[in-house]
Amino acid sequence: MKKEITPQDADIMAQLQGTIPMTLTPFADIAASLGLTEEEVIARVRDYGEKKYYRRFGATLRHQKAGFRANGMGIWSVPDQASRKEIGEKLASFTEVSHAYERPSFEGWPYHLFTMIHGQTEQEVRDIARRMSQTVGISEYDVLFSIREFKKTSMQYFDHWPGREKS
Amino acid sequence: MDDVDKKILNMIQTGFPVESHPYQTIGAAVGVTEEEAFNRVKAMVDSGVIRRLGASFDSRGLGWTSTLCAMKIPAGRIEEAAAVVGEYHGVTHNYERAHEFNLWFTLIAPDEDSVATILGEIESRCGMGPVYNMPMLQKFKIKVDFKFKEAGGE
């Protein structure tokens, strides 16, 4: 947690983590609710964007991922640490891959690289993984699909910001 | 949804104007009045086409830490373990995968100490073996935006 983020910053950002007021002047309304000026709120919100506290400011659509019905977690065993970067970048270069990371391996978990692979069906995702495996020459891999989802939420950072009262 | 709505959506998905009269700017960009731009956005929020209109905060940008964790839960006890894991507000995604490492979850917390504390609690409350903590060591790609097609709908 960044030390320079004050409780007042958290109060402002708490107003941005859901949907902003649906009025002609949303920032003036946020300012009024916090006892600040509109100019100050606008300047701060822009500053938070410049500091990369948020990735984007805008609309999240309900159907923005429509068309991709299946996604699988591709896991890849690359014992040679020195080649993980090159192989990871090659795996990431597939357009069907949205995320690609290196993560630690464990006893019984011999995988080092993780890729989220998207397709229309599970079979298509497996086919993409096979092409990926041929491209990078890694034969020890698997694709895991989610069987059951128990929880999926967006993080409400500012409801739980240390030092800030929950509002 | 007509072309004006689609133009508005493409503009405000990434760049809602952070200024005094945002709908004036949006209207000017797509050729309608401030009031019409506002009414169109409000209608899309009300109908649910726009699920949320605000900032997408970044755990790393805020200085928080996030990780992916897995557990090996005995068959038949996975709901029990998932219920414990799901109680933590920093657990944003909790799901079962077909593998010996069968219960997976993502955890977001203010710092590494909080992560260690929460994972220790989950281990002792579940009593079903270790939580394998798999934080990102290297990032090759993250792509979250899917462009909305103006022609041909979704």
Question: If you average pLDDT over residues A70-84, what whole number do you get?
Answer: 95
Question: Token pair of B114, please?
Answer: 């909080």
Q: Do A53 and B61 touch (CB under 8 A)?
A: yes
Q: What is the pLDDT of residue A161?
A: 86
Segments of chain B scoring below 50 in pLDDT:
145-154
List Cα–Cα distances, B153 to A14, A39, B5, B15, in angstroms.
33, 38, 11, 21
Q: What is the pLDDT of residue B151?
A: 39
Q: Are residues A141 and A74 in the same domain?
A: yes
CATH number at residue A138: 3.30.70.3460
| A36-57 confidence digits (pLDDT tens) | 999 999 999 999 999 999 999 9
**Structure ipTM:** 0.85
Q: Do A59 and B136 touch (CB under 8 A)?
A: no
Task: Give the start-end residues of each E strand in chain A.
Answer: 54-61, 70-76, 97-102, 113-119, 141-152
Q: What is the pLDDT of residue B149?
A: 44
Q: Are residues A115 and A138 in the same domain?
A: yes
Q: A145 CB near a chain B CB, below 8 Å?
A: yes
Nearest-angstrom CA–CA distance, A35 and A87: 53
3-state helix, strand, coil in chain A (%, to 5): 35, 25, 40
Nearest-angstrom CA–CA distance, A84 and B121: 33
Find the DSSP H helices in chain B: 3-14, 22-30, 34-47, 78-86, 112-126
Q: What is the pLDDT of residue A109?
A: 96
Q: Is the pLDDT of residue A163 over 80?
A: no
Please choose, from the candidates B119, B24, B117, B28, the residue with its C-alpha nearest in 3D space to the C-alpha of residue B71: B119
Residues in chain A with CB shorter than 8 Å from the CB of B9 are 59, 61
A158 within a domain of the structure (yes/no)? no
Q: Which domains does chain B show, CATH number per domain?
A: 3-47 (no CATH), 65-134 (3.30.70.3460)
